[in-house]
Amino acid sequence: MAAATAEIDAHKAIVEAAAVAARLDAEWLDLSMPGTAPLRGARHPLTVVEARCLAVLRQLGFTVVDGPEVETAYYNFDALNIPKHHPARDMQDTFWVSGGLLLRSHTTTVQARVLQSKPPLPIRVASMGRVYRNEAVDATHLAMFHQFEGIWIDRGLTFAHLKGVLAFVAKSLYGDHRVRFKPKFYPYTEPSVGVDLACTVCDTAGCDACHGAGWVTILGAGMVHPNVFREFGYDPAEVSGIAFGLGTARMAAQAAGVHKIRSLYETDLRVHAALRGAR
């Protein structure tokens, strides 16, 4: 009996060892190899568009500056030649907070702060970020959205420089499409222009990009108003400047292929997937 038990135990040990060896062979893992990294998130479409805009302007010597989102009426309105009676100062357009402060309605406030600091010429700066307007929320409008602006201040700048910069920016961002300039009005620039891009998405009246008009407005611009220069102690007879602004929220929506700007600010991962597909 003892001999039989010993024989059984010996064979049992052999079977168990074979099972362990087979499992080790099946589950073998080289611990010296790199592990499988988890999937990483994607950059938000707005971040991607802002990076593209910065890359274009850096080719022209622009640097990035930032400013506060809670501003004073001086930097948001007064310094930018926006008079007291301008409708943008009303509660219908501006979010006023306690202490006479407000949520900035455009990133042009950063440009005002730059001019006040009187850096040496030439001045080439870009600013970007959130802006706020008390508007009705719908598919194409929000109370909070993003802007991207730039100014170039120097001696001898003309409207020809403005058109050249705008054409370069438009083609660098959108490719070789037709561009047109149209008259516009902005209190802080004179003359002012809007830049339209030929709509190549579709040619039907139901086109979400241009609504059948054939053109999509991509930015507003102009020569810096003489009153803005005088406000900060510059002589408009000696210096001139160009200013331009892009709606990066609209650009991001176009790049991601979404029809509602609101989708950019919601936690919908399909927006990121659409942008990767557009690349």
Least confident of 191-195, 208-212, 235-239: 208-212
Round the average pLDDT of the chain to a whole number and report it: 82
Q: Report whether pLDDT(178) > 90.
A: no
Q: Read off the pLDDT of residues 61-110 as tens digits, 9 standing for 90 and up.
A: 999 999 999 999 999 999 999 888 877 777 668 888 888 899 999 999 99
Fold that domain 45-278 belongs to in CATH: BirA Bifunctional Protein; domain 2 (3.30.930)
* Entry pTM: 0.75
Q: What was the pLDDT predicted at 269?
A: 72
Task: Tell me the C-alpha distance between 274 and 279, whole Å.
Answer: 9
**Which of 83-87, 113-117, 251-255 has the least mean pLDDT?**
251-255
Query: Residue 117: pLDDT above 50?
Result: yes
Query: What percent of the chain stands above pLDDT 70?
Result: 86
- Please indicate whether residue 257 or residue 108 has the higher confidence score (pLDDT): 108
pLDDT score at 208: 52
Q: Does the pLDDT of residue 209 top 90, yes or no?
A: no
C-alpha closest to that of 169 among 89, 58, 253, 255 = 58
Of 48-52, 55-59, 119-123, the one with minimum mean pLDDT is 48-52
pLDDT at 179 over 70: yes
Residue boundaries of the structural domains of the chain: 45-278
CA distance 267 to 84: 39
Is 218 strand, coil or helix?
strand
Confidence of residue 213 (pLDDT cuts 50, 70, 90): low
- What's residue 275's pLDDT? 56
CB within 8 A of 226, min separation 6: which ones? 190, 236
Q: Take residue 209 and report the two structure tokens written for it.
A: 């990009």
Residue pair 106/131 in contact by the 8 Å Cβ criterion: yes
